[in-house]
Structure 1
């Protein structure tokens, strides 16, 4: 069964080799205070910067999940309150989580077809961090790199934090446009769930030290203190970090992957546009995700499509939250092979 679910998603076919190598090299028993682990951490950070074009002075940190990063950002970076720009369920969850820690947290909810109007955007001085859900997995929308940069340029004194859970390692991101970026590895990285990635700029590190929040299990100051020596603040998912390292070594630089993903999405979009039965969940190409395609229809029809796909050996991702009955989602992630993608397109054309 080929899964096109947008997470946990299909892993790279080379994973079995990586796992066997990890066992034979003793990685599964590696101490996270050892030179073996510290070298692994340092090399993985170098690979992230080289392959994804992350600035040299940004720092790679490891967490348990993208969700954990919500708490880290809210407790260790935000001094007054955060302002959230979102369009779907995961952006709303980030907002709600931040509100638990700070009731002053506020937001603007975008329509799925509408880009944020930066010129008319007004964010009060009391908000010292702007939270942006760049790729909203639940409804297959995105915020373009250019808009993130415009927001940062309009509010240079505010921190910019960006959720790229379903896009990091799939499309090229402009890391210089924001201070905090995070993701999980079970989507575009094509790896098993259980590892979160947090990337912070010197400005974010300075803000963390300025706030001085400490004493918690996942206080950013504690994480950074350990990361300075290429260690982690708790016993980490060493296997997950090793798999990330091996995977990055085998992947091209992000601009090449970005090109493949965008071309595949064009094929997918054209296929849906020519269908008499299928409709794209997001009509505006400027707000439509490049890594997750949402397809909508009547509840009975959506159910029938998913069942027919399963008979052909393909699993579609269900719609999320309120969209579950009337939509399904297709992951356009790098781990999907050309043959698998062609099988998907053939099915959609014939259905």
Structure 2
């Protein structure tokens, strides 16, 4: 089965051997306060900073999912309100979740075919945290490094948090331009779900300490205190962290991965522009995602297309949110090999050209 679903997506084939090695090395039952885990945790933090170009002074945390990060950020970095800028379902869900904990949270939506309107935003002066999704998985859009820089320059005194779930470990993100970044591993990391990574700037840590929220197992201040010794506040996903260690050791530096995905995304967009039965959902090339490609057609065609692909051993991603019925999505993640995309092209050329 060729899997182009945008998460959980295809895992690296080496994961099978990694799992055997984890069993043989005793990782599946090692104490999470013991020396073996501490060494594992320290190694992963170092590898992430080196391979993914994360600033050395940023602090890395292991959590269960990107959804958990929504909770941690609202609990630990706000006492009053956050402001959320979104153009798709996942950014909007983050906003809606924040409202449950902080009813004063604000939301600013913009059209998915337009760049984030940084100069037009009217974010309240009492906003403690600005939140947005760098790569919106629901509609195949992304926020460019230039836009992030503009946002950073306009709101220098406010913490900025970024959901990078569909781009972390795939794109060479400039983490220095925001205070908090997070992403789950079931996408560009090429690993099974159940683990997410959060990276926080020194300024973010100082902010969390100032608020001093400690009411939850995943309160950031407590998490930070534990990670000073490369431990967690809870029994972590040890096998997920081990798989992350092995994956990072075997993968090239993020700059090369980014270039490969960028080239392949351009090729895929060019390929799909030739079809008339369906079209690219995102018309504005400037905001098209490099890692998730969304295509749109009438409901019946999309449903039939996905069934036909599945019959031929190809799993396409369903649409999501308001685009659930009339779109399908294709992941452009590092674990998926070039030849698999050639097979995907052959399928579309045979049935829809």
Question: Does the CA-based 8 Å contact 1:188-1:334 persist in structure 2?
Answer: yes
Secondary structure, counterpart of 2:157 in structure 1: coil
Secondary structure, counterpart of 1:169 in structure 2: coil
Between the aligned partners of 1:73 and 1:10, the Cα distance in structure 2 is 29
Q: What are the superposed Cα offsets for residues 192-217 of structure 1, whole Å, 9 maximum, x if unpaired? A: 00001111000000000011111311
TM-superposed CA distance for 1:35, in Å, is 1.0
Quote the residue 1:124 is aligned against: 124
Question: Does the CA-based 8 Å contact 1:169-1:254 persist in structure 2?
Answer: yes
Between the aligned partners of 1:77 and 1:30, the Cα distance in structure 2 is 33
Quote the residue 2:40 is aligned against: 40
Between the aligned partners of 1:195 and 1:341, the Cα distance in structure 2 is 27
Quote the residue 1:57 is aligned against: 57
Under a length normalisation based on structure 1, what TM-score does the superposition of the two structures give?
Answer: 0.98
Q: What are the superposed Cα offsets for residues 298-348 of structure 1, whole Å, 9 maximum, x if unpaired? A: 111111211221122100010012211111010110000121111112222
The answer to whether 1:78 aligns with 2:78 is yes
Between the aligned partners of 1:348 and 1:268, the Cα distance in structure 2 is 12
Between the aligned partners of 1:72 and 1:325, the Cα distance in structure 2 is 32
Secondary structure, counterpart of 1:294 in structure 2: strand
The answer to whether 1:171 aligns with 2:171 is yes
The answer to whether 1:259 aligns with 2:259 is yes
Between the aligned partners of 2:268 and 2:94, the Cα distance in structure 1 is 30
The answer to whether 1:154 aligns with 2:149 is no
Question: Does the CA-based 8 Å contact 2:110-2:117 persist in structure 1?
Answer: no
TM-superposed CA distance for 1:22, in Å, is 0.4
Quote the residue 1:306 is aligned against: 306
Aligned pairs (5 A) from 1:91-102 = 91-102=91-102
Question: Does the CA-based 8 Å contact 2:272-2:279 persist in structure 1?
Answer: yes
Between the aligned partners of 2:307 and 2:82, the Cα distance in structure 1 is 42
Question: Does the CA-based 8 Å contact 1:135-1:143 persist in structure 2?
Answer: yes
Between the aligned partners of 1:78 and 1:349, the Cα distance in structure 2 is 51
TM-superposed CA distance for 1:350, in Å, is 2.6
Question: Does the CA-based 8 Å contact 2:52-2:172 persist in structure 1?
Answer: yes
Between the aligned partners of 1:68 and 1:225, the Cα distance in structure 2 is 19
Quote the residue 2:114 is aligned against: 114
Structure 1 residue runs of 5 or longer lacking an equivalent are none
TM-superposed CA distance for 1:124, in Å, is 1.6
Question: Does the CA-based 8 Å contact 1:271-1:348 persist in structure 2?
Answer: no
Structure 2 residue runs of 5 or longer lacking an equivalent are none
Question: Does the CA-based 8 Å contact 2:182-2:197 persist in structure 1?
Answer: yes
The answer to whether 1:186 aligns with 2:186 is yes
Aligned pairs (5 A) from 1:128-147 = 128-147=128-147
Question: Does the CA-based 8 Å contact 1:5-1:331 persist in structure 2?
Answer: yes
Between the aligned partners of 2:157 and 2:144, the Cα distance in structure 1 is 21
The alignment of Structure 1 onto Structure 2 pairs a total of residues equal to 351
TM-superposed CA distance for 1:153, in Å, is 1.1
Quote the residue 1:11 is aligned against: 11
Between the aligned partners of 1:338 and 1:141, the Cα distance in structure 2 is 22
Aligned pairs (5 A) from 1:234-313 = 234-313=234-313
Question: Does the CA-based 8 Å contact 1:294-1:327 persist in structure 2?
Answer: yes
Question: Does the CA-based 8 Å contact 2:172-2:255 persist in structure 1?
Answer: yes
Question: Does the CA-based 8 Å contact 1:275-1:349 persist in structure 2?
Answer: no
Secondary structure, counterpart of 2:10 in structure 1: coil
TM-superposed CA distance for 1:16, in Å, is 0.5
RMSD, aligned CA:
0.9
More displaced stretch, 121-130 vs 93-102: 121-130
Between the aligned partners of 2:326 and 2:70, the Cα distance in structure 1 is 29
Between the aligned partners of 2:182 and 2:262, the Cα distance in structure 1 is 21
TM-superposed CA distance for 1:133, in Å, is 0.8
Under a length normalisation based on structure 2, what TM-score does the superposition of the two structures give?
Answer: 0.98
Quote the residue 2:27 is aligned against: 27
TM-superposed CA distance for 1:117, in Å, is 2.2
